[in-house]
Structure 1
């Protein structure tokens, strides 16, 4: 028997259903007049688009796509940067009753080709000449694609050759076609909108997956709209309209997390500035956002940068910086602080914390964190500096949010409480199950795989292991597939200790191994910049590469201490006994990380099979490739 069913807190707002995604746009344009609703990054700065301009361009796109012969329910593949063009094309598809299929820009050509073919897409929209070049290489093997649309065409002479069957059009030309093809564009748009039902399929998002072929997650208009409406509704001081919150958006819109939030922001009429992740450091002080979404790694890198800067200081300045770090590390948002600490925190705010906030632009109210676990220590440290993180949990299959921590009920180390309308329970084996309007319609053309995760009564098996604490807050403890058994018969959940090790700025990634072995070991991937900062602090030289630094006993001992600290309080059989320091980086390009920055464990085990064998060599031999083996 599974445990009790958990729902939203009693004072939570209602679950709003029955809306299409375009409904959210039209409600926004009726309520707000924002001249800077969407802001496109360029070399000269951001070019604004008003909310009404966005609506009109999306409508023209919808009419143009239908004028090209795409019928309601046709699939349109998107090879687009995460910017205003994406938003216009996406909304155009949705108004036109079309189903869009986003492609991960980092995917290999074979993966992209599989997704476009499997989804049976009839048209492909690309951002620019670079993406058009990528598309050109795929098109010979994609016979269904007869129309390619480019948003920013660039130099016409530099366009690649396309198959004879393919017609190339600019987005501007498609929009002009849409306006010209109908006598009354407004009435034509009304007719298109009348054809859309909230239960209609809006998008198919192919999950990157840590194993096997990607699966096409079918999400309806209501799946996403209910999530977008509900997710921000309980943030009481969220200011709406053109004078309200200012958002910087740098996460990929190919992921449902960023895309759902874009709809939520749009509905509230606020200003969104798009930026590439590589430009984030420069963009933050220019945009000065009040709200943004992030993955934990971005916040970890910002904090690591703060610590690195402190390490490089001298004299009194360094002592003040170190003192401020300690004050932040002593903070616990779930407890009232004694008066003496409040005074110290106020002093630290004047001397140290305001500089931390400046790194985020100076006026951030909330950072919405998703995609992976945010370490409780970091949540508390940022909260000490008045930077509030709201940790969310969900899947592509759940549109995506299942639960999140509200500002008034924020508990580090948890992913909060369910959204209104969402039910969550824990199965006998610890797996998290959820049911509600957020749950997908299924996997596209994969009924067996759908049946494997969805019960007839609506419960979705998330594949995550978790538990509810005494206050009804959900904790994620591991991935079900990540569980492994030692040769001793003991089961190990690797994620808790991986999270502990990975929360240290010196560590970029950590992977615990030990399946069918006598004990647990770990592959630790150092963060080179932090190792160099530590080397500088200890007089070992800051300019040495990571392989060279791993020959220094002081540096190796620092990593040994991290693992020893992570082992504390863990079950004896799940502690790490040996460690391999690997001077490599896990990346999407190497196929060792998914596009959503999750570790592909099977691929990592294969890529580092020799290093893993060396960890279990009785003589302690092996290593190679600059790898350092360490007894913990």
Structure 2
């Protein structure tokens, strides 16, 4: 057994114990940094630091407050909030009380929120503000087990006559209650933490469900303890890193980052406001950041649009630099694979230095200037985009995992990363490719099962611990995994040909800077078609230069020139495809796909059935007059 494997095996029984170890080891070190709005309400936010001992004081007060409210081991406490410092404090407080956190996205509507609260049997809800509190009030009759709602931001929260006595309290009141409880019972939280076992439930995360109702994934403490040690064992992060965390903590990808941070002791700057990312990055100056592909797509499209707006000469320089960046990234990765050193041919290196001064340095500055690496997960990233950023000095390490595997099962290994793959398995995780190409996983990160759904659990989890991921993939001889598609998303045409739509969609996003989302359609049809949503700001900037200035977005979409523009990119995609893969027709959607309309999950994954149902009339138009078998 290797030292790494020994390290993974010798893990604490719980996240609560891991947190206590960290606080004892580095009590005065900075743990978190969070924004503080300007007093005037105008201007940029300030940032406040919280040490590990300062965090512990709040965490243990929350834990004691929950114990005082009657929370018993493994009882669920739901968290309905955006990513913020209080989310982290509350989550750790729940686990230190021996309870289990049920995570709920703040974008979840009242009906779905009530379903999750009821299905999980949550006894207490910690809600972000008056808006989230209103969801619980609206559906209170359906939530007989919900004893209390704790509100983080009490602005605008008013008492209602039919609120049971003590049903609503603020987070500040809960912490004060906990502090008072600890004065009377100083060992209460310590005893709860010491009593937690590795198989005790820590978290229930509901899959956002691309199809059907969400299922609660039961993740015991050992899943998170393993993840903490395994992330540290990869060597990708150190105690000196500064991570910028904006991902939704209701999602497993965001939450697993906290386990790694507690183990390593580095600083996290936390702010879940997506509209603040561009403003925050140069201020926070992170060394490490995790994101989803859509963020990198938006950054690239924004940079390209800015260059295009600067005139033909500036745009030509950008296009040249982008191509040099991709070429340089491929060359350095290939050379590292062969020789173990990062280098490129002399002529290419010379061009790269020029392009760096003209383009890449500005791009890195926008990310704060210190970013060593960014991890991308949740969906596939276009290799073309990955090479563009990698060649510009922003190395995107793709990873892979599921809620059912505690998020991080694979990640690219530092300098040895390979764009277009999701890297190698974390220490202690096993992988196998089934006969039909499905990826199977086994290891300490695999879930206990689906909450209250033994039949659904049995469908994906074998008795010997192998998890059926539902993803199709391939393993290289030296262990790098490439994801081909979702098993259920594979399209079989009426001619019997199989098509992986995700692969084609990724290729199109890399080709077309105007696209926001695309769905390939063709199951049981005799040819493929596409529904294409465009990025509104990028398209309107293009419109100004092509005689359509002053036109509304729908008017630009309806213009023949806009259709011709996109047709050109579709033709370029088709040039590299087999005949049965080519897109014969497409329709431009009247709006972008988003979470609010239910087109995307809160983690920005595509809900194909929802989109196809909504735009069924456009699909039928594209197949009108064709004969189907």
CA distance in 1, matches of 2:585, 2:405: 38
Q: Counterparts of 1:80-479 in structure 2 under 5 Å?
A: 80-155=81-156, 158-164=158-164, 167-183=167-183, 186-235=186-235, 238-240=237-239, 244-275=240-271, 276-314=273-311, 317-331=314-328, 332=330, 333-336=332-335, 337-479=344-486
Report the alpha carbon displacement of residue 478 of structure 1 after superposing the two structures with TM: 0.7
- What stretches of structure 2 of length at least 5 have no aligned partner? 39-45, 336-343
User: In the TM superposition, what whole-angstrom CA distance separates every residue of 1:99-150 from its partner, at most 9, and x where no partner exists?
Assistant: 1111111112111111100111111111222322232222232111121111
| SS at 1:282 equivalent | helix
TM-score (norm 2): 0.92
Q: CA deviation at 1:554?
A: 4.0
CA contact (8 A) 2:323 2:388 kept: no
Structure 2 CA distance for partners of 1:429 and 1:171, relative to 1, 3 Å: same
> Matched residue of 2:541: which SS?
helix
CA gap 1:454/1:165 in 2 versus in 1, 3 angstroms: farther
| Structure 1 contact 246–272 (Cα < 8 Å) conserved | yes
3-state SS of the aligned residue for 2:599?
Answer: coil
Distance across 2 between alignment mates of 1:357 and 1:165 = 54
- Aligned length in residues: 607
3-state secondary structure, aligned to 1:105: coil
More helix by share: 2
Contact 1:14 1:421 in 2 (8 A): no
Alpha carbons 1:75, 1:98 under 8 Å: kept: yes
**Whole-Å Cα distance in 1 between the matches of residues 137 and 206 of structure 2?**
21
How many angstroms does 1:165 deviate by? 5.8
- Looking at structure 2, the residues matched to 312 and 161 of structure 1 have their Cα atoms a distance apart, in angstroms, of 57
1:139–1:163 Cα contact (<8 Å) kept:
no
Relative to structure 1, is the Cα distance of residues 9 and 582 closer, same or farther in structure 2, using a 3 angstrom cutoff? farther
SS at match of 2:197: coil
Moved more, 498-507 or 303-312: 498-507
Q: Secondary structure at the match of 1:15?
A: helix
Structure 1 residue aligned with 2:339 = none
1:173 CA displacement: 2.2
The question of whether the paired residues in 1 share the 8 Å contact of 2:233 and 2:427 is answered with no
Deviates more, 1:575-584 or 1:15-24: 15-24
| TM superposition shift of 1:619 | 8.4
CA positional deviation for 1:483: 1.7
Q: Which moved more, 1:432-441 or 1:67-76?
A: 67-76
User: Corresponding residue for 2:338?
Assistant: none
SS at match of 1:334: helix
Q: How has the CA–CA distance of structure 1 residues 529 and 188 changed in structure 2, closer, same or farther, with 3 Å as cutoff?
A: same
Root mean square deviation of aligned Cα: 2.3
In 2, Cα distance between the equivalents of 1:604 and 1:234?
Answer: 38
Task: Please report the TM-score for the alignment, with normalisation by the length of structure 1.
Answer: 0.91
What is the alpha-carbon distance in structure 2 between the residues aligned to residue 23 and residue 403 of structure 1? Answer: 25
Q: Tell me, yes or no, if the aligned pair for 2:308 and 2:314 is still in contact at 8 Å.
A: no
Q: CA deviation at 1:66?
A: 0.7
State the Cα distance separating 1:193 from its structure 2 match. 1.1
Closer, same or farther in 2 for the Cα pair 1:580/1:202, shift >3 Å? same
SS at match of 1:550: helix
Asked if 1:41 is matched to 2:42, the reply is no
Instruction: Assess if the C-alpha contact under 8 Å between 2:232 and 2:263 holds in 1.
Output: no
Tell me the alpha carbon deviations over residues 261-310 of structure 1, each in whole angstroms, 9 at most, x when there is no partner.
02212332222222211111111111111111100110111111111111
**Equivalent of residue 579 in structure 1, options 554, 576, 586:** 586
Change (3 A) 1:180 1:33: closer
Partner of 1:534: 542
Q: Deviations over 1:147-184 (max 9, x none)?
A: 1111232356x345553266222222222222323456
